[in-house]
Amino acid sequence: MTEYRAVFDASVRFANGGGMTAEGFRLDLPSPDLSEDEVEMLFVRHLGLAMVADVALHGLRIVEEQHKGSRSVLAAQPVSAASPLVDLSHAIREGLVTYPGLPAPTITPHLTREASRERYAEGTEFGIDTITMVGNTGTYLDSPFHRYADGADLAALTLDQLVGLRAEVFRLTDAEDRGIPAAVFADRELRGAAVLLHTGWDRHFGSEQYGAPAPFLTEEGARFLVEQGVALVGIDSVNIDDTSPDARGARPAHSLLLRAGIPIVEHLTNLDQVPPSGATFTAVPPKVERFGTFPVRAFAVLP
Q: Which CATH superfamily is domain 140-301 in?
A: Putative cyclase (3.50.30.50)
Taking only Cα atoms into account, the Rg of the chain, rounded to an integer number of angstroms, comes to: 23
Q: Give the span between the Cα atoms of 301 and 164, in whole angstroms.
A: 8
Give the number of other CB atoms < 10 A from CB of residue 223.
17
In three-state secondary structure terms, 257 is: helix
Quickly state the pLDDT bin for 14 (edges 50, 70, 90): confident
Look up the pTM and report it.
Answer: 0.83
Report the pLDDT value the prediction gives residue 82, as an integer from 0 to 100: 54
pLDDT mean over 129-141: 98
Please check the confidence at residue 285 and state whether its pLDDT lies above 60: yes
pLDDT mean over 160-177: 94
Contact (Cβ atoms closer than 8 angstroms) between residue 215 and residue 175: yes
Quickly state the pLDDT bin for 128 (edges 50, 70, 90): very high
pLDDT mean over 238-255: 97
Report the pLDDT value the prediction gives residue 79, as an integer from 0 to 100: 44
Please check the confidence at residue 280 and state whether its pLDDT lies above 70: yes
Asked which of 43-57, 115-129, 167-181 is least confident by mean pLDDT, the reply is 43-57
Contact (Cβ atoms closer than 8 angstroms) between residue 203 and residue 231: no
Give the number of other CB atoms < 10 A from CB of residue 4.
19
Report the pLDDT value the prediction gives residue 74, as an integer from 0 to 100: 58
Report the pLDDT value the prediction gives residue 83, as an integer from 0 to 100: 62
Average pLDDT along the chain: 93
β-pair type (194-198, 165-171): parallel
Please check the confidence at residue 143 and state whether its pLDDT lies above 80: yes
Please check the confidence at residue 244 and state whether its pLDDT lies above 50: yes
pLDDT mean over 129-136: 98
Asked which of 43-57, 68-82, 143-157, 235-249 is least confident by mean pLDDT, the reply is 68-82
CB contact set of 291 (below 8 Å; sequence gap of 6+)? 135, 143, 145, 153, 154, 155
Report the pLDDT value the prediction gives residue 76, as an integer from 0 to 100: 47
Sign of CA dihedral 198, 199, 205, 210: negative
pLDDT, tens only, 260-269 = 999 999 999 9
Report the pLDDT value the prediction gives residue 15, as an integer from 0 to 100: 72
Report the pLDDT value the prediction gives residue 18, as an integer from 0 to 100: 92
Contact (Cβ atoms closer than 8 angstroms) between residue 222 and residue 179: no
Report the pLDDT value the prediction gives residue 16, as an integer from 0 to 100: 75
pLDDT, tens only, 52-109 = 778 999 999 999 998 888 776 654 444 444 569 999 999 999 999 999 999 999 999 9
pLDDT mean over 160-167: 97
Report domain extents, the chain. Answer: 4-68, 140-301
Asked which of 73-82, 112-121, 193-202 is least confident by mean pLDDT, the reply is 73-82
Considering the chain, what percentage of its residues have pLDDT values greater than 90? 83
DSSP class of 7 = E
β-pair type (52-64, 140-142): unpaired
What are phi and psi for residue 131, nearest 5 degrees?
A: -120, 130
Alpha helices in 109-208 (DSSP H): 113-116
